[in-house]
Structure 1
């Protein structure tokens, strides 16, 4: 064998001597711009690549698109794809200044004459000379062939390569440079049309040396023990590495040894072996043995993986043992459940943090940190109802004749102060609150229409007034939530509540749908979230007269202490 190797090393360079003299070759290029219409043929099932335009390839990719009114795929000139019969047709591409055309015809492999499937690929020895034949070369007297590696002409490669009689001759094969897909273009003349028959050859570079080593088993290790579960299927995996061979003889098998006796064995059922080659010097085979259902008898046997090639063989033996059952609830379940609980609580707190702050400050922090003197006890925020506007002009709803509509009844109730005749007078809630809080209970109120001078900056005046008040009371209604000024007052109060814990905030909701957060325009997000958690009282037209009703008792409890130091309004 060594003698043959030596003779091969001396004879093959002689054959290539005419090529490997490092003579300068005339560079050939691909499709030229002046060739405006090209005709290419491809063999069905073979790899194919559309030609590129040399002058524009360095600037942008050439995309060939189907023309002629037929829908079809488009191909980048650098893309290798298997030719199919449906790819036949006319294509065009734009090169910036002109349009080029190409007619592609995909033919059956049997129509090209003396077709040999093995011509589609060739193996070359690393570090030696080699030749790549063009498929169908012996079936034609035309030896004029142009070779390309991908889209690059071989004459442009910085390699010692030449073309001779349709053969591609490589002086010294290198894995890094010479492996890949090559294309040979042969011109053919038919009925005055020049066709280019493009054939593909896949070149694989293999080690030059002859195999002298047996395989190596990388998994499993010898005398290894694998844990299995009774009653379940089990797959035994064996992976072996084989030195590269020109003709692969590698084989991997699994055997079961009864009672551990390797002389009493049987072949295990196996899956289809998986073979791959990550480096040219060796390849791997992965073989899996199958046990359909593990029984207690399987624990008494041993299992041997044998890997063999033309040089020799290696083997490893393993045992199986029963897998200990782990109690999930005690070892894994509780920590996982605790972690999930912490995550859920954390996410909930993150999403509801603002609401929690409002609840805490409005219920537990009032008056604990701010001892500054306040100018007002209560900032009363409301919108005037039509009834209240009439009262301002000097008459009451009782002077009108006819029934009172329900809408008007919702905004009025019995005055807790009886008239001289002992009959209750219907008054709007905003007017009742002004009378009760100031005249009856002695609180100092801040009213926008009375205590804030006109002509100033409204937003600054309102914000300052709320900050100088012990409490903010908002009379919520549909009209209130639709009034941008009133919504601003509520929002300013919520912001002051979050910034200073001394402010107290109370919502009084009328019988109308005042708690709705679906408004036009929409309410600010801060107001929407605050409406859900702020303290509130419900006011209805059925509230009895006098200060003994549930509403008035609850309001009296919610009011701050009389802590205002009277300050001159001047």
Structure 2
């Protein structure tokens, strides 16, 4: 379209027509001004050859130098120096000359910097355009301590397949051939190294650089300095090339899609922004390439829907000429109906084309707030229950036993709930009779058996001890430093209880630690069975109260006891009778105990 408009303007100019924009009069005092060229300024190194090409001939369909000579057009050059407002015609000399559509500076000087106007005119038309020239010094291009040649123009890219060869020519060498009086010479550099480069893989072939086998370390910036003679003067200019190794031509050059993968379903969220990524691999070929999205067969521009937009294509990776490019399609407000749309990612270059469809599915969104609150409440309750159980676990266990526990009196034929074994000394005897017995019988309603109180006079100590232990549901052993060291009675009770427990009977042994005891103070029978036995520690005054940890812990180990209103009266009578019986038998047992202490060999025989 732009070329067609230029062509129409050209016809108006050629036919002598006038346009309001030009404002041209019959005396040709006006000239159609195209302004300044949109191309960047031309840069030339100081003391090197350079040239300006008239931008009017950059569109051959509008202006062509050969065709403009027929209607009698002439090309004129003007210069607007830096800091001046008036155009000055250029005076041609041996240094500044014109060749067709080019203005040559051989060489360029620092004060040549400024604006240059090229004007194409005949008797009936006139057009002009301006361009800028910058003459650079070496310090403007390279650091002062650099060994690299100074180059004003950008590097020319050169692609050479790896393990293959190519011939590299210096850019603009053909222009020097036109102006030189003889054959130009070319000097090649690779970085700071001047040819020869010390490798037979790179040689000069005339003025060209011949690369026989391209290697990875041959990549980089190359410089070529063209030197020629003109009218007895030696002139030169330098150009830069960026030689890059690419994958060989024998490898596939058809583009492929890396993302999205084939047959993969993307999970998206409704009413949220969705970004679909299309990533393609483009092997190097000397042809245009493209990557794009389509929605129902239309590009984003053709779709004309504000909900769809695309992010500028960007390069993700570059590897020996092969490039990975990425294009992103943004759906700003994804709707349920969009699942039925066809989203296609497509790539193409001069060798082939590929497209792939993306399948979308809507994510099932769980009520996160409700779930979060529910989970939080659950965790708080669990933590609260844990704290409560950690603090009140004994109370909870006792409460559970009172509701669901089984009264062992209905399941066995035992006579006593508890048999108390202790060292026969005054201190422990006082603890057992005044504390343990009193609370267990009077307060908790257990039937307690104490050998010194409940045994009949005249019986055998060994037989009665074994009988009492066998008829009891629990053996409560009061452990202290003096236990089992004052005689064999306590040791006999302990061995009988442990043996009954080990043989699978219905007796359980409970240890009550009356005073602290080191491990070496434990008798041999307790050392082996200590791990399997429950230990309840008496802590003096802190354990006196029935609500103390000691009594709660002891009740957990004792049988479950439920006393109803009818049984309370009977149990009270039984307790009174037991107290009376104990008082009557105390005197008789005292003589037996003293006899046993005086003649312990009767019991030692059993222990042996």
Structure 1 length as normaliser, TM-score? 0.34
Higher alpha-carbon Rg: 2
Larger relative contact order (C-alpha < 8 A, sep ≥ 6)? 1
The TM-score normalised by the length of structure 2 is: 0.32
